[in-house]
Chain A
Amino acid sequence: MKQRSYLALEGISVVFPTKNGPFTAVQNVDLSIEKGQFVALIGHSGCGKSTLLNVIAGLNKPARGVVFLDGETVDKPGPDRAVIFQDHSLLPWLTVEENVRLAVDKTTPGKSRAERRDWVMHNLDLVHMTHAAAKRPGEISGGMKQRVGIARAIAMQPRVLLMDEPFGALDALTRASLQDTVMEIQSQLHTTVVMITHDVDEAVLLADRVVMMTNGPAAAIGEDLPIALERPRNRIEAAELPDYNHARHAILHFLHQRYSNPLDEAA
């Protein structure tokens, strides 16, 4: 029997019950991800990217198929698969520090209060947010909230970090700055990451591998493109590399020619 990858999705299908009968969102997806790999999932809206991510998170149950993480099956949500939500999902009644603290308290049993506090501050430092530790989410900008969301997720020391369009709601400049932070952190932690994105440049710049999904219903993996750019990557230098542009072009071709936006076709 062949060796399974660190994170392995085998024959995953997801079906939602609707008024008009069952709706197959994702059909028969196989995906193998090595430890420490950064995978970007790209595809048009409604193609089932989030559904697939939620299956890995354990928030959605697949109708068929199994997810293996480090040899164990995944059947419910847990802090070993931290999720960074698009809407950051910080709890508005807690301060920045308390939001991260909530995650740390659940995932570091047997540590002293001081150790937990230090760990919270260390993770806020990684996302450059120590200055706002005492603020509430309502008092900081969208980009800062998402930085705290990242800190909360990595503070759990997850085996897999799942990012659901983490920067989708941010403006382009803020997004670039957060992408840099993510690359910086990834170079230190080498976490296994699955990131959903709509942004071709973001996918090529951040990922080791871009997985492109076909349009739903019954979406599947259309293409799997390795990005062999050297790290650390720099957005300005990378944009001039032939490899970068080649990858970028391949993804654009997939998204806009082979599987163009289903909403455009309908219009």
Chain B
Amino acid sequence: MSLSSVKLVETDAGLLPETVTAPRGAEIIRHPSAPVQEVPPAMAPSPKWRSALLEALGRFVGAVAPTGLLLVLLLAFWEIACGTEGAALPSPSRIWSESHDVILHPLKGVSFDLSGLHIQDGGDVGIAGHILTSLGRVAYGYGLSAIVGIALGVLIGQSKTAYRALDPLFQVLRTVPPLAWLPISLAIFQQAGPSAIFLIFITAIWPVILNTATGVQNIPQTYRNVSKVLALNPFEYFVKIMLPATVPYMFTGLRIGVGMSWLAIVAAEMVQGGTGIGFFIWDSYNSSLLTDTIVALIWIGLTGFALDRLVAFIGRRVARG
């Protein structure tokens, strides 16, 4: 192409070959990736706290809405399926009409004062009272299993000999269902209270032992070397290296353990009777109050959930601190 064949056009930038110019009056089109200039809103912006509140509310609704919706659907389905006369299971509306006393007065027979919590002996106790009685037993049994379980876990994690000796025993015993321990437990302790606590102890201890042991076995060699170079004594090693390094494993075990102990206590109380949420279920079943049983079921589930979250929360706090 010779120079003369290039047609020059006059533009704002002077004479330019036609091929590099746009036709006069052509619209400038923004490149899709170019930043868009912010246009300030015409109306006054709403106060910061209000938008923050709305945002938080939006997040909450977003998180809770699916569960809530599902719950409503399930209840509706339940109501339709069991609403007919003579259905095997009571419908939600029948539960309300027959058991609203139980639902509305969970704290019957329970009183607080400066000396602590009092649950009325025998007689008529609300459902929260039964839950508290059961929780008290869990606190004892689970507390014991946490202490003994961590100690045994550290022992078999630390010592190969102890591991070889005890691990097979633990692997066999941990598969024994809680209720299978009950006759033995009753034979040993002769009383309902201590044998229920033993049952929780023996149910919850296995995951604590085994997870703690895994944690101890997995302490990195470098941490052990650090403690050797610093010549830490066994106690210092335990407190400053082993415990912090094992905490995540321990709390995995403690979390499984608390769930299992809650399973055990309900089963134990159902068999033994007297007080507690397990007894409440058994009692309501024997009195043909199936609606009460369903209310108790919901309480048990929520309490178990809360226990799990509590242990998980403590675990996170301890691991961070």
Contact = CB atoms under 8 A, between A and B. Distances in A.
Most A C-beta atoms less than 10 A away, residue of B229, B240, B241: B229
Interface residues of B, number: 15
A58 B244 CA distance: 25
B16 interface: no
10 contacts: A57-B229, A59-B229, A77-B229, A77-B231, A89-B223, A89-B226, A102-B230, A102-B240, A106-B236, A107-B230
A58 B229 CA distance: 8
Contacts of A156: 230
B244 A81 contact: no
Interface in B223-268: 223, 225-226, 228-232, 236, 240-241, 244-245
Given A85-B222, A87-B222, A89-B222, A59 B228 contact: yes
A160 to B, nearest CB: 12
Contacts of A106: 230-232, 236
B230 A79 contact: yes
Contacts of B240: 91, 102
B225 A83 contact: yes
A87 B222 CA distance: 8
B229 A79 contact: yes
Contacts of A103: 230
A85 B230 contact: no
Interface in A144-176: 156
Contacts of A85: 222, 225-226
Interface in A70-102: 76-79, 81-83, 85, 87, 89, 91, 93, 102
A-B pairs with the 8 shortest C-beta distances?
A77-B228, A89-B222, A93-B244, A106-B230, A89-B226, A83-B229, A78-B231, A77-B229
Contacts of B222: 85, 87, 89
Nearest to A85: B222
Contacts of A58: 228
A77 B226 CA distance: 10
Nearest to A57: B229
A78 B241 contact: no
Interface in B128-150: none
A256 B232 CA distance: 42
B248 to A, nearest CB: 10
Contacts of A91: 223, 226, 240-241, 244
Interface in A91-133: 91, 93, 102-103, 106-107
A81 B229 contact: yes
Contacts of A76: 228
Contacts of B244: 91, 93
A57 B229 CA distance: 8
A83 B231 CA distance: 12
Contacts of A81: 229
Contacts of B228: 58-59, 76-77
Contacts of B245: 93
A57 B241 CA distance: 20
A92 to B, nearest CB: 9
A58 to B, nearest CB: 8
B219 to A, nearest CB: 11
A76 B241 CA distance: 19
Most A C-beta atoms less than 10 A away, residue of B226, B241, B244: B226
A59 B224 CA distance: 10
A59 B230 contact: no
Contacts of A59: 225, 228-229
Most A C-beta atoms less than 10 A away, residue of B230, B240, B244, B319: B230
B229 A78 contact: yes
B190 to A, nearest CB: 46
A89 B245 CA distance: 13
B34 to A, nearest CB: 36
